[in-house]
Structures are given as structure tokens and as C-alpha cells.
Structure 1
Amino acid sequence: MNILFIEDDAMNRRVMRDMLDVAGASMTEAENGEIGLAAIERGTFALILLDLRMPNMDGFEVLRQVRARVDSKSDLPVIVLTADTAVDLRARCIELGANEVLFKPVAMDALFDVIGRVLASAGSGGVIE
């Protein structure tokens, strides 16, 4: 299973790669929204892990553009990962089309649980143990 992680912080990308390695999942990294959208254009992913607060193009705009696509990639499951704890943030992300929101720091068991539930509800059937 290949997962796209769009995140500007290199340390966060490394930690996520280490966690996904435990589950046997591969991870494609994108250090900003533009690179993430280009990766979506040319790659095949089971899901997207998306940071919200990035320079140039934030995660909200990435999510808008993914959901505005006119191909099957518009339905890619998206899990937002954020350190932002604004009161209405989760609702806003879901309204924009995120499948789930996790708040940083993310525990490995919580991450795997959410990925499994999101993939199951999307009909992907992929399970992370």
C-alpha cells in the first residue's frame, strides 16, 4: 500500500515513514502542497495524509483541489494531520471533504486505527495492523 504524506516538516515526514514502515506500507513524501498535487497527478495512492499548515499552499487548498478533480482521484481518502486545535477545525476539514482528522502528535496505534477505518469505509479493504 502506498500512502502520500504531504507535510512541510522533514522530521514529521521521517517519523511518519518510520511508523508506516512498521505496518509494511510505503510512503511517498511531498514537502508542500504543489508537490503533493503533482504526486497525485502522476501516482497511485491508497490514501493521503495531509498537513494543514504549510507555506505557499496550505492543506485546505490541497483538499479543495483534490475534491474538485473530475477523475477517480477526487475520491482518494484524505486524513488530515494537524497541530492546530481551533474549535471548528475538525468540522471545517470534514466539510471540505476530509475523511478524518488526527491531531499531532499522533500515536501509532491511533494512526493505524484511523487508516484502517477510513480505508474500510472507502471500500479499499486495506488494513494496517
Structure 2
Amino acid sequence: MMGGSIELESRLAHGSTFRVRLPLAEPPPVAPAMDVATDRSYRLLLVEDDSIVATVIRGLLEREGHAVVHVINGLAALAELAHAGFDAVLLDLDLPGVDGFQIARLIRQREHAGQHLPIVAVTARSGSEDEAKARAAGMDGFLRKPLSGEQLTGALARAVNGVPA
């Protein structure tokens, strides 16, 4: 009905190959969804207790040229922030011990006048009130997992540049 074809090639003990050909038009190029420049490399603190999720996020960020320090809990994050400078923090909300909301509040309490470290929540939570709670705790951005590299880059750029999401 679409003017395409389906082909099957099968050889005993070698397997089968299926080919589906559809005469579809190539989609138009997608315009970038953000107006914020993202050509700068950042030094980032990733606070994530799931090693697989951390590896994926770290890979997405490093592919964009960012330097990433990964820690698995909030107390380790506070220790890193005490002795190293970062351009932003990517913070999971559900961490062992002290949760991401409390870590964000502690970061904000420790800032001096004129300081503001961008914090982006990265969570698997699906509740509708979680974003408002994250913003009330002092976070600048909010992302739900799973996320794409474009979503991550956009939220990071907006948070670092002080653009409301």
C-alpha cells in the first residue's frame, strides 16, 4: 500500500536477512531548540549513585568537550565543592543518605554573596510536583531520565547562562 517491498533471503545454517524498502521522503532538518550558545566547555560535577546512568551521562557530556567529575552521593559532592571549582552541578534527586533536594539547599546555604553555582536536577522521578520542589530547593534546571544529549546540553547551557527554563 505504500509502494515499498519486503525481501527475504535465507540460507540453511547461515540465517536469514530481511529487507524492507519504503519510499519515504527524507525528513526536514531539525532546527536547534535553544537560543543559548553551547560552544563553551564546562567543568561539571555529576552526582549520581547509579553507575550505569553516570557512565551514560558522563559520555554524553565528555563527547561535547566537558570535563566531568563523578561522585556517588551528596556528602562526596559537598567535599568536592569544598576544594574544587565547578561551572555547574548535575544532581540526582534520589541519592543514598542525603537526597538531592537537601544537597541543593546546603550548596545554596554555603554560597557567599554574589556567588551562584548552577544546579540541574537529573531524575527518574515522574511526579508532577518534583520540578517545583527542585526549584524551591534552589535548582536552576530540571531533566527527567532518560534524556538525550541535546536535552542535557540545552539545560546545562541555560542554567550556566542564567536563562530560565
The answer to whether residue 68 in structure 2 is matched with residue 15 in structure 1 is no
Could you tell which deviates more after superposition, 44-53 or 63-72?
63-72
Percent identity reads 29
| Counterpart position of 1:61 | 102
| Counterpart position of 1:126 | none
Deviation at 1:71, TM superposition (A): 2.5
The correspondence for 2:112, drawn from 55, 71, 80, is 71
Unaligned runs of 5+ in 1: 123-129
SS in 1 for 2:125: coil
Provide the rounded CA distance (Å) in 2 between the counterparts of 1:73 and 1:105: 34
Provide the rounded CA distance (Å) in 2 between the counterparts of 1:30 and 1:4: 8
Indicate the structure whose relative CO is greater, using CA pairs within 8 Å and at least 6 residues apart.
1
Q: Which has the higher Rg, Structure 1 or Structure 2?
A: 2
RMSD: 1.5
* Ranges of 4+ aligned residues in structure 1 off by more than 4 Å: none
Deviation at 1:74, TM superposition (A): 5.6
- Say which structure is richer in helix: 1
| Counterpart position of 2:143 | 102
Q: Letter of the 1:27 partner, please give it.
A: V
Normalized against structure 1, the TM-score is what? Answer: 0.89
| Counterpart position of 2:154 | 113
Deviation at 1:72, TM superposition (A): 6.1
CA contact (8 A) 1:67 1:74 kept: no
Deviation at 1:29, TM superposition (A): 0.7
Spell out the pairing of 1:25-104 with structure 2 (5 A cutoff): 25-71=66-112, 75-104=116-145
Give the number of equivalent residue pairs: 122
